[in-house]
Amino acid sequence: MSRVWDPEIPRPFYVLMAGRFMNLVGNSLVFPFMTIYLATRLHASLGIVGLIMTLYGASQVAAQLLGGVLSDTWGRKRVMITATVLGALTTVEVGLAHHAGFLITMLILMGLTVPLFQPASMAMVGDLVPESKLSHAYSLMRMASNAGIVIGPMIGGFLADRSFESIFLLDALSLVIFFVIIVRFIPETRPSGPRPRNPGGIRDVLRDRSFLHFSALWGLTGMVYSQLYQVVPAYLHVDLHYPPSTFGYLAAENALGVVLLQWPLTRLTRPLGSSSQMALGVLAYAGGFLLMLLGHRLLVFAGAVMVITIGENIINPAASTWVAERAPEALRGRYMGVFGLANRLGAALGPSWGGWLLTLGAVPWLLLTGLEGGFLAWGYRRFGHARRQPLQLPASR
């Protein structure tokens, strides 16, 4: 029987996992309440807030690609250090800003810095962990991250009812702590073998057509999932008049569901294969949003969030493992960068798309989100089964 704590996975992975837990406690103080913060601080409509979040998401898209390239050429550890330092500084500025132009500028800069971490850390997991253990490792990373998210939204919701500034300051502190952990306890893992001829580009990744098909599906999946954390909080608060703390509890339910269900669901669905896992996961997304059509009671939203949580437990480790196994070692950072970029691009477009649909009514918004999930399930079955054909990389001279 597979064990949650596996001796074949090296110690630095568990240190990275612990640091990620600490960071996600801080990040989840802020992220679930960002749309509410912008709406109240700027006295803006949901449409304007959606556009601002789209700009923020666009900056995250650029950071994902840059982080992937830099992690291959500059090193995983250096990129993670840069992300935590600059992320802490910009997070403080966002929380303390009062002028609209300055706040939006700092928000965009925050989007350009913090997400640099993601492709570097994902590539590092691929470097550290044997291929046979990757699915296990990515599941463990998600469990640790979501254990942090269990704590953050409940504290963040409590503090947001009183002071938004405090949640941004605590998030910045978590980044500082993570910076110390990276510097002291995590080694550089970038492979020292041959490098691609074009060290600053992604030309070789773009030759992989099946991966590009998959990335398009992954971006649309990010658009669907972004409705949960970007549009649902505003819908609950502005349209249904729930206090900000309400979504904090729903976000904590989501995270707790990952902590408790991630490992058993990964083991249960692994025999299906990655394409079926991803299709099943996104169908659960669709089902969760369609369930919200049943009414406005909090119990309905709690049930819908749990269905979506089951879906993400199935789809996310399967997708990360698929990419890590497909990527040539020397291009792993770039593959993870494009993988993250696709998701961020979808998440960037999601608030504007969902916010616009919500102006037409909750029924069109939820119905079309569910239908998109059904289309994506077909897409994963169509493209997700492709196997890697290793690329021949020209060695640098």
pLDDT in tens, 160-173: 777 888 899 999 99
Reference 77, options 19, 120, 119; nearest CA is 120
Nearest to 36 by CA among 219, 170, 173, 159: 159
Angle formed at CA 328 by CA 205 and CA 281, multiple of 5 degrees: 75
**CB distance 144 to 42 below 8 Å:** no
* Tokens standing for residue 260: 């408790």
CATH 1.10.3720.10 fits 14-184+199-383, yes or no: no
- Other Cβ atoms closer than 10 A to 114: 24
Count of alpha carbons within 13 Å of 270, Cβ hemisphere only? 17
Domain spans, the chain: 14-184+199-383
Q: Cα 270–274–275 angle (5° rounding)?
A: 135
Chain-centroid distance of CA 182 in Å reads 20
Which residue from 227, 213, 210, 212 is spatially nearest to 371, judged by alpha carbons? 227
C-alpha to C-alpha distance for 213 and 113, rounded to whole angstroms: 27
Q: In angstroms, rounded to a whole number, what is the distance separating the alpha carbons of residues 325 and 312?
A: 20
**pLDDT value at residue 4:** 60
Residue 273 has a CB neighbour count (10 Å cut-off) of 14
Local structure of 111: helix, strand or coil: helix
CB 359 within 8 A of CB 45: no
Tens digits of pLDDT across the chain (397 residues): 445 677 788 889 998 998 888 888 888 888 878 888 888 888 877 778 878 887 887 888 788 888 888 888 888 899 999 999 999 999 999 999 888 889 999 999 999 998 888 888 988 998 888 877 887 888 888 888 878 877 887 788 788 777 888 899 999 999 999 999 999 999 888 876 555 555 445 677 888 888 889 999 999 999 999 999 888 988 888 888 888 778 878 987 888 898 889 889 988 998 888 889 999 999 999 999 999 999 889 999 999 999 999 999 999 989 988 888 888 877 888 888 888 888 878 887 888 888 888 888 889 999 999 999 999 999 998 765 555 454 445 544 3
Please answer whether residues 32 and 156 qualify as being in contact, where contact means their C-beta atoms are separated by less than 8 angstroms.
Answer: yes
Residue 139 Rama label (left phi>0; alpha psi -120 to 50; beta): alpha
